[in-house]
Structure 1
Amino acid sequence: MRLDDFDPNINVEDQRGQGGGSGFGGFGGGGGGGLLFGLLPMVFSRFGCGGVAILLAVLFFFGGGLGMLGGGGGQVGAPTQQVSREKAGSDVASSCSLNAESKAACNAFSSADKTWAAIFQREGKQFQQPKLVFYGGNGQSGCGAAQSAMGPFYCPRDQGVYLDTSFFAELADRFGAKGDFAQYYVIAHEFGHHIQNLLGTSDQVSRIQRSGDEVAGNQASVKLELQADCYAGVWAAQNRDRLEPGDIEEGMTAARAIGDDTLQKQSQGRVVPDSFTHGTSAQRMKWLRVGMESGDPNACNTFSGAL
């Protein structure tokens, strides 16, 4: 996908190099991030059942993070140092140009920001710009600790999209989802959670989750995640003239690889539908396609009808 270079006015924070170590190491020739498949207990905490699922509920419901694979949780730590407006442009350029993965994330984030700002303006709604937060291994979000094992996530409390860019290598090597569009899909999905936050959808789901009905909470989470997939498709459709051959296939490959049923089969050898929090591979592919084909956020109503 041919994206413009990032706008230096996007809101970027960089926690890399601020301490906290490199998280769970030992992956893919040179350490870095230790993501979902490298930490089997985290897989079970995200997709298992029983007591481990209860632990997940505590982390997810009270931590408040929303992500493709995991969510933020735990104690809120020291806030990230805010960058002065005078230095913002140069610091954004420095953070976004650190490596190819950072630039890809910033380009996609910037494109999503412009796209959704325009959509909101057309619909007469007020748009608020989120922030993109880079961290390495361990970091801090408004929803608690940020760890690479969680995967990318969105924190509604501080309107931040949190990313350890080592996830992109994991996406290609472990999940088999290669290509730039697979990376852009990750950012567009998390940006979709920001749109849900602005529209109040996230709050509605949180109320269901706090009701104490675990199955109902999981089902609401699935609908929220599938809608974020659809919103990612809407972003792609709004930038259809920038798509290249193979982009759609790359997106579908990524969506298939991170379906709950696929991940559960790989991690625990069985599927527990009541514990799904993100949707099956088929559902994730379906709703990404709905967004791509319609280009209309109103077509992304996963909360009515069959999934």
Structure 2
Amino acid sequence: MRLDDYRSSDNVEDERGENFSNGGGGGFNLLGPLLGFIIGRFGIGGVVILVLICVIFKINPLGFISNTPSVSPSASSQQHSVRSAQQACQLNAASLFSCRVLASTEDTWSKIFADEGKKYTPTTLVFYSQRGRSGCGVAESAMGPFYCPADQRVYLDTDFYNELVNRFHAGGDFAQAYVIAHEVGHHVQDLNGLSDQIREQQARSSKAQANALQVRMELQADCYAGVWAAHNRDRIESGDIEEGMKAAHAIGDDTLEKAAGMRPVPESFTHGTSEERMRWLRRGIESGNPAQCDTFNHDIDS
């Protein structure tokens, strides 16, 4: 994807280089916030994600236990490093590309919102390395990039790009851009009030129902990522779309569970199958219209 001449976003914060392993004032167990984040975002069945993380990345669950002090959502945004946004973006090539992708999403969604008579408020991209903290609790690199509605930030360890290549065999700059655009899609849901509505429904639902609602949330975010791509066709190069589809396939729930040596259990899915993720990403790319991303009132398999 050609973004070499694109501006870098100023909505960037940096946690890289900070020490989160030791803190004063007493300790606490990171396992609770981690489970809380997973359950809060993905429903009770999302605990399966933690199991998959441990199996796929060969992580000891006890490794999530630390003496790191608790950080409130408001405090997390105040304890980032003094590195400026532009310094953070210039730290390495992966950071610079990420900042340019974020800027592109800002321009794209600002126009889409303006066309609807609304104002788009950008999310902030927070870089961290291995471990960070967010308004949703601990940020672990094994969790992959994520959006935290509590502080309206996207959290990214750029080492995940290496995981896309080495573990998921889904490399390429468009695959990386798709990851960020997907998380920004969750921010769009948050701005539109959908996130709160779904969380309220999930709180009143069974585990299977909560997971099914989360799948629709994730597929819509995939579609929104496709909408972003559609509005930037002039920057898409040969092979980019294929890179995105390959990444979407690689991180489907059924594919991940098979890779972990598990039998796919649809009731445990929280992001959708590989085919569903590719389908909705493609739908966004082909339509360029957010209205075509209504996963809640359409059959997600058609």
Residue 278 (structure 1) shift:
0.0
Corresponding residue for residue 15 of structure 1: 15
Match of 2:126 among 133, 138, 142: 133
Residue 198 (structure 1) shift:
0.2
Alignment partner of 1:81 is 2:59: no
Match of 1:220 among 213, 220, 241: 213
1:279 match: secondary structure: coil
Task: Please tell me the root mean square deviation across aligned C-alpha atoms, in Å.
Answer: 2.8
* Aligned equivalents of 1:176, 1:290: Cα separation in 2: 23
Corresponding residue for residue 84 of structure 2: 91
* Aligned equivalents of 2:134, 2:87: Cα separation in 1: 21
Task: State the AA in 2 paired with 1:145.
Answer: V
Corresponding residue for residue 231 of structure 2: 238
Residue 104 (structure 1) shift:
1.4
Alignment partner of 1:143 is 2:140: no
* Aligned equivalents of 1:264, 1:57: Cα separation in 2: 19
Residue 10 (structure 1) shift:
2.3
Residue 20 (structure 1) shift:
2.4
Q: Is the 8 A contact 1:20 1:137 kept in 2?
A: no
* Aligned equivalents of 2:88, 2:36: Cα separation in 1: 33
Match of 1:267 among 253, 256, 260: 260
After superposition, what is the alpha-carbon deviation per residue over 1:185-243, rounded to whole angstroms, capped at 9, x for unaligned?
A: 00000000000000011111101221141111000000000000000000000001111
Corresponding residue for residue 196 of structure 1: 189
Corresponding residue for residue 154 of structure 2: 161
* TM-score between both structures, scaled by the size of structure 2: 0.82
1:304–1:64 Cα change, 3 Å: closer
Corresponding residue for residue 60 of structure 1: 38
After superposition, what is the alpha-carbon deviation per residue over 1:80-99, rounded to whole angstroms, capped at 9, x for unaligned?
A: 43789xx9xx8111101111
Identity among equivalent pairs (%): 54
After superposition, what is the alpha-carbon deviation per residue over 1:48-95, rounded to whole angstroms, capped at 9, x for unaligned?
A: xxxxxxx98743243689x9x979x995454243789xx9xx811110
In terms of mean alpha carbon deviation, does 245-254 or 12-21 score higher?
12-21
Match of 2:284 among 284, 291, 294: 291
Where does structure 1 differ by over 4 angstroms across 4 or more consecutive aligned residues? 55-58
Task: State the AA in 2 paired with 1:62.
Answer: G
Corresponding residue for residue 42 of structure 1: none
Structure 1 residue ranges without an equivalent (≥5): 22-44, 46-54
1:275–1:56 Cα change, 3 Å: farther
Alignment partner of 1:304 is 2:297: yes
Q: Is the 8 A contact 2:219 2:280 kept in 1?
A: yes
Corresponding residue for residue 53 of structure 2: none
Aligned length in residues:
268
1:268 match: secondary structure: coil
* Aligned equivalents of 1:287, 1:265: Cα separation in 2: 22
1:140–1:194 Cα change, 3 Å: same
1:251–1:258 Cα change, 3 Å: same
User: What pairs with 1:202-213 in structure 2 (closer than 5 Å)?
Assistant: 202-213=195-206
After superposition, what is the alpha-carbon deviation per residue over 1:111-130, rounded to whole angstroms, capped at 9, x for unaligned?
A: 00111011101110121111
Task: State the AA in 1 paired with 2:38.
Answer: F
Residue 5 (structure 1) shift:
4.7
Corresponding residue for residue 60 of structure 2: none
* Aligned equivalents of 2:187, 2:49: Cα separation in 1: 16
1:9–1:176 Cα change, 3 Å: closer
In terms of mean alpha carbon deviation, does 231-240 or 8-17 score higher?
8-17
Task: State the AA in 1 paired with 2:148.
Answer: C
Residue 251 (structure 1) shift:
0.2
* Aligned equivalents of 1:178, 1:9: Cα separation in 2: 23
* TM-score between both structures, scaled by the size of structure 1: 0.81
Q: Is the 8 A contact 1:143 1:155 kept in 2?
A: yes
Task: State the AA in 2 paired with 1:17.
Answer: G
